Structure 1
Amino acid sequence: MSAPLVPLPALAEAALARVRSLETLEAAYAAWLELRLAHGAQRLRWREEAQRLEEQGAFLVGAVRAAAPAPGAQAEALTRLDTFAREAEAKLQQARARLMGEQQAAEEVHRAADAELRAALLARAERYLAQAPPRLHLMPRRVGGGRSVLHLARVTDDAAVLLLRLFTGALPTRYGFLHDEATEQAGLEPAPLYAEEGVGEEETRPDAAALEARLRRGAPFLPVRGFLPLFVSRVDGSEALFRFRQRGPVLEAEVADDGAFRAVLTREEAERCTGRLLRLQLEGRLALEVEVG
């Protein structure tokens, strides 16, 4: 017999209580992640329980068929077998109905709690941005031939959340996303997307074009990992996708180019990327220090 299902409503209320009592981004993200993990575990248990009931139903059908009296058996035996089958089926139907009712009620609780947590994160990030713009230290490096690489000094997890909001208008789905180096297979770099918010397991490693298309959807939460995206205007008015990717102690700028990303930038690309950051500073939304010399 399976263990009792996880009480999702109680977990949802506990997560909301934590967010209401603690004002940090980290606490809010921890509560949201806990709720999502509990919801995923609960859904798995529901599927297991539904499968168990289906297997019981199939077993009873087979048992009744095997117990069927031989032709010419007394009517009383047939009646008893029919009564047993109907009672067993009624119990299974009741169990299925209870499971469905529990699932529907818990899903409603989860949807409400998830919406409140998302709203709290968005409001909290906006307050943080208004109170203290994130600080960046930009380090241009010449590599010859009129080309450059751009590095940003490592930022905190709080700053990473706020920078993603500033650069894209969205929030990450995970606190600590920028410094997450976990990978599903040794030898592979971490996937740039988490398998959540509509991203399937097979979609976590898109090429540059597919990644740009997803970033442009305008979703309020982005399942990005290991980088900060930034759209930068070109001379012709179109936009190029840059990303600042975690590289040890620095974030290295890369530009989307023919389905991939490259870190060695032309002079114009480096200037325009730097100019985009400077514009945010002039607007009072970013505190930028550019290393010179």
Structure 2
Amino acid sequence: MRASFSRTRGAPYAFLAPALILFAAFLAAPIVYTVYLSLRRVQVKGLGLGAGSRSEVWAGLSNYARSMTDPDFSPSVERIGAYGAIVVPIMLGLALLMALLLDAGRTRVGTFARTAIFLPYAVPAVVASLLWGFLYLPRVSPIVDAMQGAGLNPPNFLGNSWVLWAVANIAVWGGTGFNMIVLYTALRAIPTDLFEAARLDGASDTQIALRIKIPIIAPSLVMTFVFSLIATLQVFAEPMTLRPLSNTISTTWTPLMKVFRDAFTRNDVYSAAATSVVIAVASFVLSFGFLKIVGSRAFSQED
């Protein structure tokens, strides 16, 4: 009996063991190692040519100070802030609008519409950036040809004035479908009795959407906002892919591009690790702060 009871008690841990091992090996360990590297530096003795002339020593917070005072860091943060101010409201606004329209039953091709809207999310960011990059190039862009054919003066999408919007457009195009599916799923979970009662009271579809649907799916809106915020702070693939097509995108256009430059171009993994930790902490603080401000109010509606 005791042996059988011990095996029963140990079964949950046996099932959890593979997930815990993968979590420790591929998430926890890299985070700990990154923090460790951010606190180290290379000390060079003499000309640094002989054996033992380079050694790794304790650096304290000097890498963080060097990263934060880097003249390329502040512009990249400001740029990512402007990028987020464009992407997050537009993407979530479109996702909410499409989810409400699909839920209202105004289209007879609901399955096709959901698939078509979601499909861009299935396209890898690098592939999507390449596709849009060719659409932005004046010599091969059908958009430019159509505007010129209509007598309009097409802008330089990859120029200084438009490049931020060009990168943001790729993110909106790719992320709207995912957020729409999340919000549409939440809408489908609302009991239809609420809508029928509202219609009997004379409420229109717009009033039902504004006063019933949106308040009920507020937790899903909060969740999609947090995911979008984290994705904004970690944007990398789109500008990195477009960079060979335009000289307006620098190697430090976003904070993660700066990390890439420091680690693989300058071979300074210690500064790159410090910047990575700063980005991770900023993501946690902003996400936790937003959840603290609006999360309790939104999720309390589920009680």
Q: Which has the bigger relative contact order, CA under 8 A and spacing at least 6?
A: 2
TM range (shorter): under 0.3
TM-score using structure 2 length? 0.19
Higher helix share: 2
Higher strand share: 1
TM-score using structure 1 length? 0.19
